[in-house]
Amino acid sequence: MTDLKIADRARDWIGTPYLHQASCKGAGTDCLGLLRGIWREVYGCEPEVIPPYTPDWSEPQQDERLLRAARRHLVEKPLAAMASGDALVFRMRERAVAKHLGIVGESGPAPTFIHAYSGHGVIENALSTPWRRRIAGCFAFPPITTMSGR
Cβ-Cβ contacts under 8 Å for 118 (sequence gap 6 or more): 18, 20, 30, 55
Neighbour count for residue 28 (Cβ, 10 Å): 18
Please give the tally of structural domains in the chain. 1
Query: pLDDT-based confidence at 2, cuts 50/70/90?
Result: very low
Q: Which of 36-40, 98-102, 107-111, 146-150 has the lowest mean pLDDT?
A: 146-150
Q: Which of 15-19, 53-57, 123-127, 128-132 has the lowest mean pLDDT?
A: 53-57
pLDDT in tens, 103-134: 999 998 999 999 999 999 999 999 999 999 99
* pLDDT recorded at residue 25: 98
Q: What is the CATH number of the domain that holds 104?
A: 3.90.1720.10
* pLDDT recorded at residue 147: 57
Model's pTM, two decimal places?
0.91
Question: 3-class DSSP state for residue 23?
Answer: strand
Question: pLDDT exceeding 90 applies to what percent of the chain?
Answer: 75
Neighbour count for residue 62 (Cβ, 10 Å): 9
Burial class (CB in 10 A: 0-12, 13-18, 19+), 94: exposed
Range of the domain at 135: 2-147
d(CA 96, CA 110): 27
Neighbour count for residue 120 (Cβ, 10 Å): 11
* pLDDT recorded at residue 13: 98
41 near 57, Cβ under 8 Å?
Answer: no
Q: For 88-108, what is the mean pLDDT?
A: 93
Centroid of chain to Cα 57: 14
